Structure 1
Amino acid sequence: MKVALLSDCYLPRLGGIEVQVHDLAARLVQRGHRVEVFTATPGSHGERYGGTEVVDGVTVHRMALQLPWDLPVNPWAPVQMRKRLADVDVVHVHMGVISPFAVDGALLATRMGLPTAMTWHCMLDGLAPVVSALGVVRHWARRGMAMSAVSDVAAAPLRRILGTSAEVAVLPNGIDVDAWRPTRCPPDDGTVRIVTAMRLAGRKRPVPMLRVVRRARELVPQEVGLHVEVLGEGPARATVERFVHEHAMAGWVSLPGRVSRDELKLRYAAADIYISPGKLESFGIAALEARTAGLPVVGRQGSGVGEFVTDGVNGYLARDDDAMATALARLASDAPLRASMTAHNLDHRPAQDWESVAAKAEGEYLRAIGSRARR
């Protein structure tokens, strides 16, 4: 098939959707499909206004305008995209919390009568009533769009909006399992290393996470050393640094910033526990990467982390921050427990390997094509 992937954000911008769409494109090409990406993200050399470049063998159409903060808005993009989409077999739209470019692309694809799949990478949460009132999701479903979300919790609001009128499948994020297998063990020096990777923004809850680890430190026997590593950058960095300073945590909490994928693998291999504090985590790709590297994961109940963490088996799913601190303290204080959870994670491959996810994506494309053919 010739597949068009539409996403507001794409490489070189770094983030969950950007990397996932890039990796999906690569996997689809490996499976014999022709793939092109349409995005409102400028290129590595400033490509905009419909300019193209080839990224890892995939043609990327850069529909960005010159806007402050490179906002992914271009009301003229559909005019340029119409001709370029004319010969595709299926369009795959990737939706975030606010995705103006993806919405414009979805509206264009339905007007053109193109088979279209849409994957939601976000938790609608409080926005669900607004989305429902707008009626656009029901409109897309009536036009035969194959709806999916990256997890059951992300799919739930869409299922409530659509009721029995349309199926909302789960198309999870994918991971290269073998690439994330650890190449070394954490040092046995009496220190338990807790790691997290996140954008330092309020929605990801970096400051509440620091409160959690501070409470865990109080619960863990003093003879057990703790070190917490917070990987990532974002607008809340100054607030995070201030909290660490004001609570005298600098001696055991480090903020190295954003690191490369290869460096992230090394950091996970040297750690003992991963913490995922987000309440509105639609999936948690960083947590899945850590789980694949063997780390027990402590996350929140009701988040997408529950797609690959079973409470008490390979991590803990906490009902609130107090329970999260207790779970962290339990793991930090019990080396055999950590070892058993790590062994489980390494012995049981996650279901979200790319081979499986790419096959599910193909299934969504066939569902979209079949639905369109029936209309």
Structure 2
Amino acid sequence: MKVALLSDCYLPRLGGIEVQTHDLAQHLRRVGHEVEVFTATRGPGGEMHGDLTVVDGVPVHRLAARIPGELPINPFAPAELRRRLVAGGFDVAHVQTGVVSPFAWDATRVTLGIGLPTAMTWHCMLAGVAPAFRAAGFVRRWAAKGVAMSAVSEVAAAPLRRLLGPTRAVGVLPNGIDVARWAAGTVDREPGPLRLVTAMRLAARKRPAALVGLVAEAARAAGPGSVELTILGEGPDRRKVESLVRRGGLDWVSLPGRVSRDELRCRYAAADVYLSPARLESFGIAALEARTVGLPVIGRAGSGITEFVVDGVNGLVVSSDSQMADAIAGLATDPGKVARMRAWNVSHRPPQDWPNVAALAVEEYERAMGLVRR
């Protein structure tokens, strides 16, 4: 089938939706589907106003406008998007959306208007904003008109199901990773402190400052030299985190910045435990990649990490920062437990492998087609 992937954000911007949309396009092509991407993100050379670029063999329609800060917003895109979708002979549209996705929402109105079967995947947690969406009513109207709704995890799907009511099905279309690429196998652990690692955008929603504080609490409980923490990534909160580290004399915290996927895998393989402190994590791609390398993951209850972390089996699920600090301190004095959880992760590969996820995406497309016919 011919698939139109529609997303506010796309490469060269880097983020969860951008990378997932790119990788989904690649894996759909590998199984014989034709794919084109439509986005409000400028190209690597500043391409916009409908310019067509090609990214790893996939045509990308750059329906971006000249907006301050290069924000992926273009209120004038719908007319041209409609023309291209009609002319392109697409079988289905797949919209990628977050809490605020003006291009994706405009695209949904366009696809419904031309009768194109539409699947929509939510990459966010709606719980806090569900009342606003309920009052606005547009998500329910889209579902009533035949949009096949899905979310990236069960915890992300739950508020969407409550919003839409029992008569509208909401599927789960998880994020995917290349499992074979991330699997590192058995790693011999050198004696020393518990090596903690995380990869995140250094922004308030991901809670890097809170993470530094709770790991410092764990270090005080476990004793001097008990832990090391590496925070990988960049973002607006870098200076705030650096200031916390400097004021606290936390010389066991390092912030190497953003690294490549290959270096990320090597750093995970050399670590002991991955930390996921965000409360509003709809999935947790970085945590899944670390778990696939073998690392036990400590993450928050009610977040997407519960899709692939079972408490006490291959990681720990906690309900507060203090519980996370206690869990870290406990593992710092129990290397045997770390080794057992790591061995489980190494011997049990996760199901969120790209071939499986691409097949689930195709099932969503077929469901969207069925809803239109019905």
TM-score, normalised relative to structure 2: 0.98
Aligned 1:166-315 pairs, distance under 5 A: 166-182=168-184, 185=187, 188-222=190-224, 224-249=225-250, 251-315=251-315
Paired residue for 1:127? Answer: 129
Which ranges in structure 1 are unaligned for 5 or more consecutive residues? none
Deviations 1:27-62 (A, max 9, x none): 000010000001111111111111011101100111
Deviations 1:126-183 (A, max 9, x none): 1110011110111101110000000011111110111112101100000110100127
* Number of corresponding residues: 372
Answer whether contact 1:186 1:269 (CA < 8 A) is retained: no
CA distance in 1, matches of 2:4, 2:332: 46
For the residue of structure 2 that corresponds to 1:356, the secondary structure is: helix
Paired residue for 1:360? Answer: 360
CA distance in 2, matches of 1:252, 1:182: 25
* Residue 221 (structure 1) shift: 3.6
Q: 2:151 aligns with which of 146, 149, 166?
A: 149
CA distance in 1, matches of 2:223, 2:144: 59
Answer whether contact 2:186 2:346 (CA < 8 A) is retained: no
* Residue 184 (structure 1) shift: 7.5
For the residue of structure 1 that corresponds to 2:83, the secondary structure is: helix
Answer whether contact 1:212 1:322 (CA < 8 A) is retained: yes
Give the residue type in structure 1 aligned to 2:231: V
Give the residue type in structure 1 aligned to 2:12: P
Write out the 4+ residue segments of structure 1 that deviate beyond 4 Å after TM superposition: none
Give the residue type in structure 2 aligned to 1:136: F
* Residue 225 (structure 1) shift: 3.5
CA distance in 2, matches of 1:259, 1:112: 42
Change (3 A) 1:186 1:193: farther
CA distance in 2, matches of 1:186, 1:273: 14
CA distance in 2, matches of 1:64, 1:331: 48
Change (3 A) 1:186 1:63: farther
Query: Is structure 2 residue 75 aligned with structure 1 residue 75?
Result: yes
Answer whether contact 2:117 2:372 (CA < 8 A) is retained: yes
Deviations 1:58-108 (A, max 9, x none): 001111111112111111111111121111000000001211110110111
Deviations 1:276-330 (A, max 9, x none): 0000000000000000000000000000000000001000110101111111111
CA distance in 1, matches of 2:9, 2:349: 29
CA distance in 1, matches of 2:332, 2:37: 44
* Residue 246 (structure 1) shift: 1.1
My pick for the range that moved more, 184-193 or 4-13, is 184-193
CA distance in 2, matches of 1:336, 1:153: 31
| Aligned-pair Cα RMSD in Å | 1.1
Which ranges in structure 2 are unaligned for 5 or more consecutive residues? none
For the residue of structure 1 that corresponds to 2:26, the secondary structure is: helix
Paired residue for 1:60? Answer: 60
Change (3 A) 1:156 1:277: same
Identical-pair percentage? 59
Paired residue for 2:49? Answer: 49
Paired residue for 2:109? Answer: 107
For the residue of structure 2 that corresponds to 1:360, the secondary structure is: helix
Answer whether contact 2:231 2:254 (CA < 8 A) is retained: yes
Give the residue type in structure 1 aligned to 2:298: V
Answer whether contact 2:97 2:121 (CA < 8 A) is retained: yes
